Amino acid sequence: MRAVISVSDKTGVVDFAQALASLGIEVFSTGGTKRALETAGVKVASVTELTGFPEILDGRVKTLHPAVHGGILARRDNPKHLAQLAEHGIGTIDIVAVNLYPFAQTVAKPSATLEDALENIDIGGPTLIRAAAKNFPGVVVIVDPEDYTPVLEEFSTQGYVSVETRRELATKAFQHTASYDTSIAMYLRGGESSFPPTLTLPLQKVQDLRYGENPHQQAAFYAIGSKAPGSLAAAVQLNGKELSFNNILDLDAAWACVQDYASTAVAVVKHGNPCGLAIGEDLIETYQRAHAGDPVSAYGGVVGLNRVVDAATATEIFQTFYEDIIAPGYTEEALVILRRKKNLRILAVELPENASRTRSTLSLMDFKQVRGGLLLQTPDVFDDDEPNLQVVTERKPSLNELADLVFAWRAVKHVKSNAIVLAKDRALVGVGAGQMSRVDSVEIAVRKAGPRATGSILASDAFFPKPDGIEVAAEARVTAIIQPGGSIRDEEIIREANKHRIAMIFTGRRHFRH
């Protein structure tokens, strides 16, 4: 028996090749893999000895030869195929262990050039993999180092690898090359907001989850391509129970909230909505104001912070029962405090330098599933194209009101529609989310705020269809409102605001979140 081994990820490859050699299997290899095996003392021959032809074009052409692919693709149950191999002096190749150039990792680097990308497009590797997978009844194909051990176990115990295992490995191999090609297409497409006629997603499993939205549902978490820096897919869990489907959703919501602010920001999220959110200078004080937004709803929620958590803040967070916490990092003292709660899930996400908040790469696109398909859209982000704010009422907002209005306008896009938030001193004091009627959301936000509604400002994710929402806000003594405008009753809405001396700003842009 003969094996061809050529891997970019060399994890476990020396032991694997040594084990094959000990079973009497001839090992052939190329380039860096061959050098690694020789250095470790593994008996290995060059693929050139199979082909009788040297590597050319700086290694671009090594394995693309009939002596290799004939040995892989010949059907072992077809006498004509075997006769042709014998006629041309070609032996069968029974094992192909290949994984590919690190294309996704290469292009993820900020310094990567087009030349770097093109040189990391593997040609020979996918061809070997696909050939071996096509002929899996006669060839074992391995693309994942995790599969070395089970393959060796079958060889050792029964002298061959079962057809069931070969089929599983072939399935994995075709998925491997499909994901690889998808990553290349994503890069070459270039248009970050383009919607091509056909689209494949290079999904890589991050982990299995405890369960789905409900305990009787199974679930897993997948990253799109390589784990995007700064995304939840790149998070490291430092403590706590296994994550479930809902944990991931709430953690992502909390992380998205705080990433929308350059200032120190803390969000408390419950069931996908921020029930508390504040920005400031001091982390512990900002957390306290975020928690105060709705301390009842905060119980069992998720905390997101965009600064490294210190001991003082950790001590304050420790006072409330939370399911999860996510931040760029934690001091050692903070981790000691938080880990006293064994079940508290603590996640750290390292923020990349100069990370753009407005990128709309595929990994950051917004996907929503419908029966039979996917909806795909660019993310709702704040960027340089954000429209100018237009004061439409007789009274203009004060500087303090304006600061609160801008804060709340960023906050309201994280609340499910119909969305209303009340804010004061750059902190949420009331939230109304997910109601079928906008005035109902206003009433809920006012009720949540209680006495704090007095002197607060209001942000609405979409226009007011009627003046009733303005009336409720006026009764609660809200002083200013920010909303997109665009209703056929805008003039009526403005008159109602003027009647109560409420300052109102139109943004010209809505922030629905269904």
pLDDT in tens, 299-315: 999 999 999 999 999 99
Which one is catalytic: 271, 341, 466, 500?
271
Active site residue 271: yes
Task: Of 87-91, 162-166, 499-503, give the lowest mean pLDDT range.
Answer: 87-91
CA angle 305, 308, 312 (to 5 degrees): 90
| pLDDT tops 50 at residue 190 | yes
**What is the structure's pLDDT at 194?**
67
| pLDDT tops 50 at residue 135 | yes
Task: Give the H/E segment covering residue 188.
Answer: helix 163-189
Q: Model-level pTM?
A: 0.82
How many C-beta atoms lie closer than 10 Å to residue 79's C-beta? 9
Peptide bond connecting 120 to the previous residue in cis, omega within 30 degrees of 0: no
pLDDT tens for each residue of 230-244: 888 889 999 999 999
| CB 28, CB 2: distance < 8 Å | yes
| Bridge partners of residue 46, in order along the sequence | 29
pLDDT tens for each residue of 415-442: 999 999 999 999 999 999 999 999 999 9
**What is the structure's pLDDT at 142?**
93
pLDDT tens for each residue of 83-128: 988 888 888 889 999 988 778 777 777 787 888 888 888 888 888 9
| pLDDT tops 60 at residue 360 | no
Task: Of 179-193, 315-329, 367-381, 393-407, give the lowest mean pLDDT range.
Answer: 179-193
**What is the overall mean pLDDT for the chain?**
89
Instruction: Name, in order, each residue with C-beta under 8 angstroms of 427's C-beta and a sequence gap of 6 or more.
Output: 276, 277, 278, 279, 289, 290, 292, 293
Given CA atoms 431, 436, 442, 446 in this order, what sign does their dihedral have?
Answer: negative
Structural domains of the chain, ranges and CATH numbers in brackets:
2-189 (3.40.50.1380), 233-348 (3.40.140.20), 390-506 (3.40.140.20)
pLDDT tens for each residue of 454-493: 999 999 999 999 999 999 999 999 999 999 999 999 999 9
**What is the structure's pLDDT at 507?**
93
- Token pair belonging to 171: 């399935």
Which one is catalytic: 81, 134, 172, 241?
134
Quote the strand ranges of 18-94, DSSP E: 26-29, 45-46
Selection from 148, 143, 145 nearest residue 126 by Cα: 143
- Token pair belonging to 447: 């009720």
Distance in angstroms (rounded) separating the CA atoms of residues 66 and 49? 13
Distance in angstroms (rounded) separating the CA atoms of residues 421 and 275? 10
Tokens 């009733």 sit on residue: 468
Task: Of 185-194, 199-208, 224-233, 499-508, give the lowest mean pLDDT range.
Answer: 185-194
**What is the structure's pLDDT at 155?**
87
Instruction: Name, in order, each residue with C-beta under 8 angstroms of 59's C-beta and a sequence gap of 6 or more.
Output: 30, 31
| pLDDT tops 90 at residue 364 | no
**What is the structure's pLDDT at 382?**
75
CA distances from 448 to 223, 428, 451, 458, 476 (A): 37, 10, 9, 13, 11
SS percent in the chain: helix, strand, coil, step 5: 40, 20, 40
